[in-house]
Structure 1
């Protein structure tokens, strides 16, 4: 039997999230599913496995013509790389959805997609229920409350700045819009902005809580509308080496890659 050639998939960055994504897409018995190409900034000291090709310039990533590129390097990398990839006809799966809170970045991405027809895929990340949010989004009375609760280990800097590093009580760090939350907490609030995008144009309110009494990253979404009421609660295990991120986030990216490849979508 002839072995199936692996599909080339790009990675922007190779930190914790990218490493977990690669681990979540194991090889087949007859060989690898994916041939990975990682774009790293100059001076990066990331330890890269020998079977992953490294490029240092965005144009070199484009030249490899990957089927899809996965952004796993934070909100700044979305603005720096994603519009150019889309203009080149290469579809992108975005982890740092909160980057779209920046109107300039969102406009550049929209224009690039219009020019090339390439796809922008936003993984569901740490939450679910997005299909329900989309279903009730157009109802005039839809109201959504999103609460993010994480252990204090995820908020050390924020609590320290408030003089509350040793708090024994839950502390509400923020209440406001998803866009504001995504800008203030770019490593924590991508899921809130994902929920907002799913439920537009309905109103959504976000609260952020540091809670010393919990060990999971908890996302709670309450929805009220003419169609009824719904509540979703996700208690995710924090990533073992990055408590700001849930372990399921990398699994969500892996599912998005598998779905993209299974549909045979080509850039």
Structure 2
């Protein structure tokens, strides 16, 4: 009897910052090949079991099964169409790129040619199934409030004349639509756009708050419609390496990868 075994998943990571490093550490506990595309000129860190690339063509030559993006909107805009055109699916953390019409067109054209997909995980929030359901109501209105510690907004507060070290009251940094919020704060507002895409961009208002009283990256969702009302609150630990993002983001990407490969991504 001949036994056929599925090939070990070959996973490429785009980015090796706080999220990328955490995701890589988690993936190393599974049986898979891991390659990482670094910034031009960046030195390869000492990390056993991982191949590092500075050139996208070299990464493509390694024939990854999927690319997982954890590098930010600019990197996703630059490389996602390249991967899709090569027939490689992309799992992306930076959902904020959806607000860029040029990117959407390039990604759609590349995906249509090859059949490859661009996949966005749920990220740092839940309740999206509920929002998809109540989006059927014409009177739906959603308010999403991002409330993060001062450490996530140091540069922004200083630009407004606040001293982050002595701030004693919450500061409203932004109030408006989700697309503009993701454009202004590409490293902070992916969750807001994820919610807006589920509920409807035109029906979702966004508030961005720097709050010295909170220790967690907090996401508050208020939804009202003819179906009823809902209030959801998610308080996530900030990444120890980057307070602008939540530690759970890397875990969300890992779960999406395990779903993508199903039983093929097995513990080492």
TM-score normalised to structure 1 length:
0.92
Aligned partner of 1:173 in structure 2 is 173
Q: Which runs of 5+ in 1 are unaligned?
A: none
- Of stretches 79-88 and 3-12 in structure 1, the one that deviates more from structure 2 is 3-12
Cα deviation 1:59-99 (Å, max 9, x = unaligned): 22222221110011110011100011111110000011112
Deviation at 1:139, TM superposition (A): 2.2
Aligned partner of 1:22 in structure 2 is 24
- Of stretches 108-117 and 65-74 in structure 1, the one that deviates more from structure 2 is 108-117
Give the match's secondary structure for 2:243. strand
Aligned partner of 1:204 in structure 2 is 204
Deviation at 1:3, TM superposition (A): 8.9
Q: Which runs of 5+ in 2 are unaligned?
A: none
Aligned partner of 1:36 in structure 2 is 34
Aligned partner of 1:242 in structure 2 is 242
Aligned partner of 1:78 in structure 2 is 76
Aligned partner of 1:162 in structure 2 is 160
Confirm or deny that 1:94 pairs with 2:96. Answer: no
Confirm or deny that 1:12 pairs with 2:32. Answer: no
Cα deviation 1:185-213 (Å, max 9, x = unaligned): 11100111111122236510000000001
Give the match's secondary structure for 2:169. coil
Cα deviation 1:96-135 (Å, max 9, x = unaligned): 1112211111221122222222121101111111111112
Deviation at 1:229, TM superposition (A): 1.4
Deviation at 1:48, TM superposition (A): 4.4
Give the match's secondary structure for 2:71. coil
Q: Is the 8 A contact 1:137 1:202 kept in 2?
A: no
* 1:130 counterpart (104, 128, 131): 128
| Count, aligned residues | 261
CA distance in 1 between counterparts of 2:126 and 2:14 reads 24
Instruction: From the superposition, tell whether residues 94 and 4 of structure 1 become closer, same or farther in structure 2 (CA, over 3 Å).
Output: same
Give the match's secondary structure for 1:246. coil
TM-score normalised to structure 2 length:
0.91
Stretches (4+) displaced over 4 A: 1-5
Deviation at 1:45, TM superposition (A): 3.3
CA distance in 1 between counterparts of 2:215 and 2:20 reads 24
Give the match's secondary structure for 2:207. strand
Give the match's secondary structure for 2:27. coil
Give the match's secondary structure for 1:104. helix
What's the RMSD between the two structures over aligned residues? Answer: 2.0
Q: Is the 8 A contact 1:89 1:116 kept in 2?
A: yes
